[in-house]
Amino acid sequence: MAAFGHYVELETLGLKFDSLVYFAQDYSLNRNLLGRQGWLQFIKFGLDDYASEIYISPNQENF
């Protein structure tokens, strides 16, 4: 899949950071790609499926 990478500032629950996001070259692909580099590495993410809860906090090791 051909895509173009751009650095953008993202905000998740008040946490702001620069991330590399890839936008698909083909307009018929209705999704863009947000990877582990620049987003997921900056947060701690937890999921409790049974309680239907999501936990997000800053990952202080990478700030």
The percent of residues above 90 in pLDDT, for the chain, comes to: 13
Query: If 0-12 CB within 10 Å is exposed, 13-18 middle and 19+ buried, where does residue 43 land?
Result: middle
C-alpha 24/C-alpha 30 separation (Å) is 8
The pTM (predicted TM-score) of the whole model is 0.55
60's CB contacts (< 8 A; 6+ apart) are: none
Q: How many domains does the chain have?
A: 1
Domain that holds residue 42: 3-62
Bigger pLDDT: 32 vs 21: 21
pLDDT at 25: 85
Asked if the model's pLDDT at residue 31 lies above 90, the reply is: no
